[in-house]
Amino acid sequence: MTSPVTALAYPFRQRFLNYQEINDQLEAWARAFPEFVRLQSIGTSVEGRALHLLTIGREPNRDRPSVWVDGNMHATELSGSSVALAIAEDFIRLHAEPDFDAQSLPPHVRDVLRELRVYVLPRMSPDGAEAVLTTGRYVRSNPRDRRPEAHRPRWVSRDMDGDGLALLIRKEDPAGEFVESREVRGLMLPRELEDIGPFYKVFPEGVIEDWDGHTIPDPYFLGDNDTDLNRNFPWSWAPEPEQEGAGVYPTSEPEARAVVDFVTKEPTIFAWLNLHTFGGCYIRPLGNAPDRKMNPFDLAVFRQVAQWGEDHGGYPTVSGFEEFTYEPEKPLHGALADYAFHQRGAIALVCELWDLFAQLGFARKKPFVDHYTMLTRAELEALGAWDRTQNQSRIVRPWRPIEHPQLGRVEAGGVDPRIGMSNPPLEQLRELCARQSAFFLRLAAMSPRLAIPEVTVEPLGADLHRVTAVITNEGYLPTHILESAKELPFNEPPSVIAVGRNGAHLVDPKGARRALGHIDGWGRGKFGGAFALFFQRSRGSVSRREACWIVRGSGSVEIRVESCRTGTVTRTIAIGERH
């Protein structure tokens, strides 16, 4: 029988959707399931496209533990939108289809997931993604350049051969750094000493703006697009030239500002998945320091997350600082995941989708970031051969001779990274979506879960009663989520308040609210020493609190456990004759 949710699905598991198709998908879900799906715009891009955010969960305005997923903040990384939509669909099915197994999770875990509020931003960079989808040009985040420098020679991407794409051009030059592979026609390789030519210079397909007629400027990945969204977030932001692509100030870009404005008002977000491509790994904190400086409990929690990443997502997890800095011991500044971890106190991960290197059989490099730059000619030719046999030659495009208005005789073509390099082959997109959803559902199920499992009423005589409430955290995580997040101003410890109703009154109204302090969950992470074979012991009553009040009269008492971090849990008990 067809699922009522999947019957509404656009083909995001078969291909990469454009801006309108993504919006149509989100609107279809919101129309079909208004009781637990809400669609809103949290901002607008420079080109006027709405940044649509999906909220999933019954009573969307009720505060409770929440999770966040975003995709496609870098324009070429289109499969992030597909995975974000797949995760959204699985959460919707949890509400719409009682028997949905949610990537093989048992019923009690599915119940935990139904209690959450889920935020999904499928495409953070709609302007950039649209440019990549339609032209194939390289855009880091957004196709705009507002730098005030005048008369600066630079390459500007443009379709020069009339095929609708802006890829690469090559020009023969005895000082060229590239040669064409003899094994994979069209594939350009770094020149070596023994090569006999012809040799080529390789440039972006486009024109040189403010050209002096003879000096060709170096291509630059931000040459005609000025800001990398993943360097524009507030935590540890640094200006250029210290950090390339930083933007003129933190959240100078409307997309970054919209995210920060929204999540600042949502302190309940405890887990954050920032979807990128490519490589096939999860990148965890710390991004600014080695593991020896990380809080041990936090590190143990991330080890548990990493285990799920290996088992279900299929990727290893690496430290941002130790394995994903482009220059040794020079951390990136202004990254979204760092902001989510350090400033919002969330279990924040980058996922570099699409394990191209593993698919090609390359040995794991350490640090992981070396995969992107330390490739031999043999490995590059293996990629070209794989593209021909397994990817329908989508990456290596033929070269076509053209007359360039500035450089004269050149050839246009080369590498189209959209399918097979920056993103997986379309034939693998469905499996990618399923595996990453299976991983994230387990991460989301770590939620703290406050409960009031027991309330007792003890008659004291003279129309008085003692009301005692037991408050527990039945979830994996503590109410403060991470030890490193405890001191964040919004990380409010839970408190409990009793309110008399219908004739029942507290004898001491000023004592209605009682501080509980943060309450631990049952989880202790992985390999943190808590389960050593030689000393298997539990902690004491760290997940339990009690509070009591003296109540006069008959009626009822409402007991509320409250925190802006974990939301509100309520239970009402009858008092006196109505008990």
Angle at 285 between CA 280 and CA 476, to 5 degrees: 95
- Distance between CA atoms of residues 166 and 513, nearest Å: 64
What was the pLDDT predicted at 145?
84
- Which among 140, 109, 117, 115 is positioned nearest to 127, based on CA atoms? 140
Whether residue 477 lies inside any domain: the answer is yes
- Distance between CA atoms of residues 87 and 412, nearest Å: 39
Whether residue 139 lies inside any domain: the answer is no
Whether residue 243 is found in the same domain as residue 331: yes
Whether residue 150 is found in the same domain as residue 103: no
Whether residue 15 lies inside any domain: the answer is yes
Whether residue 396 is found in the same domain as residue 440: no
- Which among 36, 59, 565, 60 is positioned nearest to 266, based on CA atoms? 565
Whether residue 298 lies inside any domain: the answer is yes
CATH of the domain at 20: 3.40.630.10
Whether residue 286 lies inside any domain: the answer is yes
- Distance between CA atoms of residues 224 and 197, nearest Å: 31
How do beta strands 178-180 and 66-71 pair? unpaired
Q: Are 339 and 263 in contact (CB under 8 A)?
A: no
Whether residue 97 is found in the same domain as residue 40: yes
Question: Residues near 561 by Cβ (< 8 Å), separated by ≥ 6?
Answer: 450, 452, 471, 494, 495, 496, 516, 568, 569, 570
Which tokens hold the place of 73?
A: 């903040």
Whether residue 140 lies inside any domain: the answer is no
Whether residue 19 lies inside any domain: the answer is yes
Whether residue 13 is found in the same domain as residue 80: yes
Whether residue 524 is found in the same domain as residue 440: no
Whether residue 304 is found in the same domain as residue 337: yes
Which tokens hold the place of 463?
A: 């129309």
- One DSSP character per residue, 412-469 reads EEEE--TTTTSS--GGGHHHHHHHHHHHHHHHHTT---EEEEEEEEEEEETTEEEEEE
- pTM as predicted: 0.95
Whether residue 234 is found in the same domain as residue 194: no
What was the pLDDT predicted at 577?
64
Whether residue 219 is found in the same domain as residue 329: no
How do beta strands 66-71 and 117-121 pair? parallel
What was the pLDDT predicted at 150?
63
CATH of the domain at 523: 2.60.40.10
Whether residue 65 lies inside any domain: the answer is yes
For residue 311, CA distances in Å to 87, 383, 440, 489, 562 come to 17, 26, 12, 36, 36
Domain count of the fold of the chain: 3
What was the pLDDT predicted at 529?
67
Bridge partners of 225, per DSSP, are none
Whether residue 476 is found in the same domain as residue 510: yes
Whether residue 113 is found in the same domain as residue 249: yes
Give the pLDDT means over successive 10-residue stretches in the chain (579 positions).
85 97 97 97 96 96 96 97 98 95 94 97 97 93 82 90 95 97 96 96 95 91 90 96 94 97 97 97 96 95 97 96 91 97 98 96 92 93 96 96 97 96 97 98 98 96 95 97 96 96 95 96 84 73 94 96 96 79
Domain encompassing residue 339: 6-132+227-354+423-444
Give 569's Cβ-side CA count (13 Å radius). Answer: 21
What was the pLDDT predicted at 123?
98
> Which amino acid is it at 10?
Y
Whether residue 268 is found in the same domain as residue 121: yes
